[in-house]
Amino acid sequence: MWQAIYEDLKDSGLEIIAVAFDTGGKAAVEASIRAEGCHERPDVLARLMGWSADLWARQAPPTYPCLIDEGHQLAETYGMVNVPQAVWIDEEGRMVRPPESAGTIDMVRHMNRETFEIADEPVVAGMAARSAYVEALKDWVKNGAASPYVLSADEARRRLRGLSEDEVLAANHVRLGRHLYAKGALEAAKHHFREASRLHPESWNYRRQSMMLDPESVGQLNAGPDFWAAVDTYSHLPYYPQADLSQA
């Protein structure tokens, strides 16, 4: 879907760089990034993620750069707590929109956990949110700094809050966990990722990683009992906060 958007906008100057956060590295994400059978994905995923029928039909493997951040360094730098999130950076290197959900909303709490099916009402809301985000992106590509979706420097700073003391400690646990994982100390690595998740409960990236380090889990969909237990435990924390597209 993002490939279709990229094809529509690349001649107008849009560049996309996708980044996966996974300590498992290439083995964990390559099959998803370059999925040759993407057209075989079940349509229920389109309903879950809010994609229109047109964009869903045009899905294709990406031709833009797709990087793997094994150390979660980009997430730490920008304060990203889940995927997919997006950052808008202009030609001058200025962040004009800090990290936010890239058109996704909190659909996971409306989903049947066995079939992934979702009722029509939340699907309509999800598609409206995705469409609004894509249209805002198109406006920025067309109008640049004159786009009403470009935030002032002060507003961008306000939305890009700094790390708390616990979040800094969580990031250090992630560094240690990754080091131990590379050394083959799996249980110790999982302990440090769990500590990172405890210290920074808003980070679904950390929580997801803590559950997906076992060899049989690497590269699999994170939708097991531990994930759903976390969704229930942290029901007060939105899984996908809707992007605030109020015009600056």
* pLDDT one-digit tens code per residue, 133-189: 999 999 999 999 999 999 999 999 999 878 899 999 999 999 999 999 999 999 999
Residues 94-147 pLDDT 10s = 999 999 999 999 888 888 888 888 899 999 999 999 999 999 999 999 999 999
Give yes or no for residue 14 having a pLDDT over 70: yes
Give yes or no for residue 247 having a pLDDT over 70: no
Listing DSSP states for 194-210 in one string gives HHHHHH-TT-HHHHHHH
Give the pLDDT band of residue 39 (cuts 50, 70, 90): low
pLDDT, residue 33, reads 65
pLDDT, residue 210, reads 92
Residues 51-102 pLDDT 10s = 998 988 898 889 999 999 998 889 888 889 999 899 999 999 999 999 999 9
Sequence-separated (6 or more) residues with CB below 8 Å from residue 53: 46
Give yes or no for residue 241 having a pLDDT over 90: no
**Comparison of pLDDT for 165 and 40, the residue scoring more:** 165
pLDDT, residue 141, reads 97
Give yes or no for residue 40 having a pLDDT over 80: no
Distance (Å, rounded) from C-alpha 213 to C-alpha 216? 8
Beta bridge partners of 85: 101
**Comparison of pLDDT for 247 and 184, the residue scoring more:** 184
Q: Between vectors from CA 100 to CA 96 and to CA 101, what angle results, nearest 5°?
A: 140
Sequence-separated (6 or more) residues with CB below 8 Å from residue 146: none
Give yes or no for residue 248 having a pLDDT over 60: no
pLDDT, residue 145, reads 95
Give the pLDDT band of residue 218 (cuts 50, 70, 90): confident
Q: What share of the chain has pLDDT > 90, as a percent? A: 58
* For range 18-38, the mean pLDDT: 77
Give yes or no for residue 34 having a pLDDT over 60: yes
Distance (Å, rounded) from C-alpha 79 to C-alpha 66? 19
